[in-house]
Amino acid sequence: MNHDHQKLTSVGIHESSLFVLANAIIVDPSNPQYALDRLDWNQRVAAKNPSAIVYCKNEQDVAHWISYARNERAKNESYHFSIRSGRHSYESYSVNNGGIVIDVSRMKFTKIDQLNQRVTVGAGMRNFEIYQSLWFHGGGGEDHSSEEEQAMERYAFTGGTCPTVGVGGFALGGGFGYLARHYGLAIDQLLSIQMVTFDSKVLTVNQTNEYRDLFWALRGGGNGNFGVVISFTFKLIKAPPFVVKYDLEWSNYDHLDQVFSIWQALITKMDSRLTFQFTIYNGTFASQGLFVNGSEEELKEWLHPLLTASTNNLRKMDFKVYSYWDSVLEYAGCKTLQECEAMMKSEPSLEHPILYKTKSAYAFRALSSEAIQQFANILSSPYTYAALDHSFSCVQFDSYGGAIPQVSSKETAFPHRNALFHAQYMIYYNQRALTPLAEDWIHSFYEKTAPKYLSRFSYANYCDAQLRNYEYSYYGENMWELRRIKQKYDPLNLFRYEQSIQFP
Give per-residue pLDDT as tens, 248-288.
Answer: 999 999 999 999 999 999 999 999 999 999 999 999 999 99
Could you tell me if 125 and 181 lie in one domain?
A: yes
- Residue 494 located in a structural domain: no
- Residue 346 located in a structural domain: yes
- Domain encompassing residue 407: 242-470
pLDDT band at 144 (very low <50, low <70, confident <90, very high): very low
- Residue 5 located in a structural domain: no
CB 337 within 8 Å of CB 142: yes
Could you tell me if 87 and 201 lie in one domain?
A: no
Mean pLDDT of 161-167: 96
CATH number for the domain spanning 177: value is 3.30.465.10
Could you tell me if 145 and 173 lie in one domain?
A: yes
- Residue 15 located in a structural domain: no
Q: Final residue of a domain: which of 103, 122, 144?
A: 103
- Residue 177 located in a structural domain: yes
- State how far the Cα of 246 lies from the Cα of 273, in Å rounded to an integer: 13
Could you tell me if 390 and 261 lie in one domain?
A: yes
Give the residue among 411, 395, 403 at the shortest CA–CA distance from 478.
411
Percent of the chain with pLDDT over 90: 90
- Residue 394 located in a structural domain: yes
- Residue 499 located in a structural domain: no
Residue 367 pLDDT greater than 90, yes or no = yes
- State how far the Cα of 256 lies from the Cα of 407, in Å rounded to an integer: 33
CB 446 within 8 Å of CB 467: no
- Cα angle 303-307-313, degrees, rounded to a multiple of 5: 155
Could you tell me if 190 and 305 lie in one domain?
A: no
pTM reported for the whole predicted model:
0.93
pLDDT tens-digit map of 63-109: 999 999 999 999 999 999 999 999 999 999 999 999 999 999 999 99
pLDDT tens-digit map of 35-51: 999 999 999 999 999 99
- Residue 8 located in a structural domain: no
Residue 472 pLDDT greater than 80, yes or no = yes
- State how far the Cα of 212 lies from the Cα of 221, in Å rounded to an integer: 14
Could you tell me if 455 and 483 lie in one domain?
A: no
Could you tell me if 39 and 121 lie in one domain?
A: no
Could you tell me if 132 and 257 lie in one domain?
A: no
CATH number for the domain spanning 42: value is 3.30.43.10
Could you tell me if 246 and 277 lie in one domain?
A: yes
pLDDT of res. 15: 41
How crowded is residue 344: how many other Cβ atoms within 10 Å of its Cβ? 16
Residue 289 vs residue 20, higher pLDDT: 289
Q: Compute the 3-state secondary structure of the chain and give helix, strand, coil in percent, each to the nearest 5.
A: 35, 20, 45
Could you tell me if 459 and 356 lie in one domain?
A: yes
Could you tell me if 224 and 302 lie in one domain?
A: no
Number of domains in the chain: 3
Q: Collapse the DSSP code of 235 into the 3-class scheme (helix H, G, I; strand E, B; otherwise coil) and give the result.
A: strand
**143-157 burial, b if ≥16 CB within 10 A, otherwise e?**
eeeeeeeeeeebbbb
Q: How many residues can be counted in the chain? A: 504
Mean pLDDT of 163-173: 97
- State how far the Cα of 273 lies from the Cα of 267, in Å rounded to an integer: 11
CATH number for the domain spanning 249: value is 3.40.462.20
Q: Final residue of a domain: which of 52, 81, 103?
A: 103
Q: Final residue of a domain: which of 47, 74, 103?
A: 103
Residues 6 or more apart in contact with residue 470 via CB below 8 angstroms: 458, 463, 464, 499
Mean pLDDT of 207-224: 98
Could you tell me if 381 and 247 lie in one domain?
A: yes
CB 174 within 8 Å of CB 409: no
